[in-house]
Structure 1
Amino acid sequence: MSDANNWTHTFVGLPKFKDNGTEIVYRVNETEVINYTVNITGDNDSFVINNTHEIQLINVTVVKVWNDGNNVSGKRPANVTVVLLADGEIVDNVTLNVANNWTHTFVGLDKFKNNGTLIKYSIAEVNVGVPGYTTVITNSTAYNWTVNNTYVPKVNKTANETKVFYHDFVLYNITITNIGTGIYNETLTIVDSLPYGLDYNKTVNITGARVIQEGIYDNESRTITWIITDIDPDVPAIIFVLVGTYDIGNLTNNVTLIGPNGFNDTVNATVEVVPIVDVSVVKTVDNSSHFVDDIVVWTIVVSNAANGTNATNVVLNDTFPPAGFILVGYNATEGTTYDMASGVWTIGFMGNGTSVTLTITSVAKQNGTFTNYANVTCNETEWNYSNNFDNATVVVVSFPINKTVSVNETYYNSNVTYNLTVSNIGNYTYTQNITVVDVLPDGIYYLRTIGVYNADVVANATQSVL
């Protein structure tokens, strides 16, 4: 029946009796009409079906649960807006806060659409979550919803020492604490930003978490990035990272924890890097090779680094001369003293960024390779002892001389020619004077020098009678 037949109908031509003569009793019934009750009245010949509209209403309850250690982080918002959706469309909203005990019931909601279709209700947070919290929405029944907000673990950073020396190391502890009640299994990204003067050395260890990505250092941005998850509420995750100190002053190191819903939290730790003494020595020789009887000049420079502190009682030990040399003199920076006998150069006080020089003059007297060593010390602890020692090496050679005769046998009163050969076996042209003395035995007399080749003659040969 419908509006077309005016909601009425007559069944015509129905038998009144059964074959056995019994009168037939007719009844009518109706299939279920959603949101309507039915009441049928009448007798065997006429029936009236009364339908009364009754709307089925339901209530939807939402409860917000904060899993944040009673707001120990101080990040919980004062209120949060949630919306009620019917088949995906927003139909209502409510602001939850302490005043309503973070709960609300939407009352008197239609259970069915007009066409009898069941309405599907759901709950959502405005702005898709609360910054710093993860959001999980569950429903125990179709009309009872719970919004669970769990705070992202808290990050903290500390240094093993707050005052360190230049060129030392600092061990940082990055601590991520789960303040919830269950294992935190969201993904967390930790980005450590190093300032100039702090250089990444290595990640020593990571405890209390499952590591998705070990520390990756980006040299251009000077950042170290780790990715972790699965943090127990009773045991914090700790990243131990070692860095070197290569600048002076207060150096602040920032670390950022990046969590769900666009959350990030940045903390920092500051260390004071103080200067420290660094005295060094450089020793050189004027030439790496010399001839016997050459003057050899040794230069020793002691410096105290500009980015260090003042050094006191600076002393250099230089055992000189080495075998094969004769010490003929020295020149030292004013205010310092050099003891030729002991080889001790007493420098005393040195301000940072200063240097002093000692020049030693000697004469080479022996063939061979000679290395002269020097080392410097001071009263203060130094960050670098590798430059406290230096040496210089020189090769000393002589001029080998060879003598040959033109004949092995000759007659009385004949001439004999001798060849004297002097060889330069060094690696540079020798420009000093060389004196060659030829002692003639009895019976042989000097006549003349035939010639001198491949050398300049300073004085011609002369004869002396011994």
Structure 2
Amino acid sequence: MDDRQPGQRCVDLVADHRNGQRHRHLTFTLTVTNNGPSSAAAVSVADLLPNGYTYVSDNGAGAYVSGTGVWTIGNLANGASTSLLITATVNATGTYANTATVTSTTTDPTPGNNTSTSTPTPAASADLAIVKGVSNANPNVGDSVTFTLTVTNNGPSAATSVSVTDLLPAGYTYVSDDSAGAYVPGTGAWTIGNLANGASVALNIVVTVNAAGPYANTATVTSATNDPTPGNNTSTSTPGPVPTADLAIVKGVSNANPVVGTNVVFTLTVTNNGPSPAAAVSVADLLPNGYTYVSDNGAGAYVSGTGVWTIGNLANGANASLQITATVNATGTYLNTATVSSTTNDPTPSNNTGTATTTPVASADLIMAKSVDNATPTVGTNVVFTLTVTNNGPSASAGVSVADLLPNGYTYVSDNGAGAYVSGTGVWTIGNLANGASTSLQITATVNATGTYLNSATATSTTNDPTTTNNTGTATTTPVASADLVMAKSVDNATPTVGTNVVFTLTVTNNGPSASAGVSVADLLPSGYTYVSDNGAGAYVSGTGVWTIGNLANGASTSLQITATVNATGTYANTATVTSTTNDPTTTNNTGPRQIWSWPSRWTTRLRRWAPTWCSP
């Protein structure tokens, strides 16, 4: 002070604060100066911090007692100064006027400068902290997760105009939040407003995890109130999504009711419904024993022995197909199941299996074989037809029967069917015939002279037959005609007088059963007769004795009368033999002899009364 007097003590109290921000430390600087002219004894300062501050420290080396606010200086020489630095925290509320008063046992002529007051005007300060968490640190792609944002005001002041910026990155799709409109997903702004000291507020944001990122989700809190610790104003949550691919398989079959032994085509279609690509995709489809593998269009990707179809990677939204051709077996399991799998997580395993089943129609390839024991039988003799039915499968055959009504070229005699064959209808009832089995029937028949000789037998069944072209068997004969010609010969007078005429009557009868062709009779008159005439109209040649008849129908007869003169001497036995180009089963009746006895004319009168005559037919 400029107006100092001798022996006057002066205390110059100065408060020095670096800033007035709340929740920051400030330092009060107290400086006591002795303006003299005497030394001052027992100097002390009273500076008890008001409730607007919290004591932190001082540099008084124990001379200042914060609890009482007394700074003990002791003696202070004329013209000397001493200082004290008190560090305090500015509280959010309280009295901020800080007064220091110096006293001494030495008289102070000017007490008006013994007191000094410093009154900072603190600025509000709120330490906002944000913490961001996620409900699942390793979610499956496509799953929903919840980000929880918690903002806390660590004070010491209330925070005004608080807001958070949390714009979701591309790795997520917004679903919902619980802010009642305070959060705008399009901008990522969450408007909180004022937040009291010590208060917290939370926001839950539900999102879907996308197949591709980024996934680091950062939220930053700001306020119109000064924040002394901005390092905790940002929080980041970075889940590690697990790729997920919803694989679905559909299996179909080209024919739900195939015939046993035919082929069906199974079509397997695998679709990746995403959202991620699927890695190491494979399908297990080992054909059940109801089918036999034939081929596939997998170019080696499908191994029939293991049933594994290796697809590999399958992009989101992509599909792959395989066609497997198989033969339907007669028996076995027909439910065919295919299951798709991948090293990528599948959120919906319920669609990973596809099935296709068939209800096969039984099929049995019946083969009818027919043979005859003699292809060129003689008419009137018996032949044996052998009918053999074989089931080449693949199924058993039910309701098997054979139709073999003998044609009119044959007459039924017998069979070995024990009643299974009915000759009147020609039906041979077999019944069931196992796969690979055979059965036979023998029918004995007489070959008729005329008629149809082609004998057909056709096998049928109530079971489907895939190859009907072999269901009919035929056997035909080329019968050899057979005609039993009978030669009868008579004479009108068995005891003629020499020199008179006799008439020989030759009768040829065809007892069949065939017509007889090239029929002729050899009847050359012996030396006991001299040819006179015949009624053959040229058919008989006396010089050769041949009577040419030609064809003679079954059952027909024809006759020839030859008139001859009985000679006095010679052979009188007259024989006629009939022949034909047609087989004759009974040649013993083909010759008709007729012998008569005659006497020379000179003996005729004398001996007539007693001479015997005989005739050998």
**Higher RCO structure (Cα 8 Å, ≥6 apart):** 1
Q: TM-score, normalised by structure 2?
A: 0.36
The structure whose Rg is larger is: 2
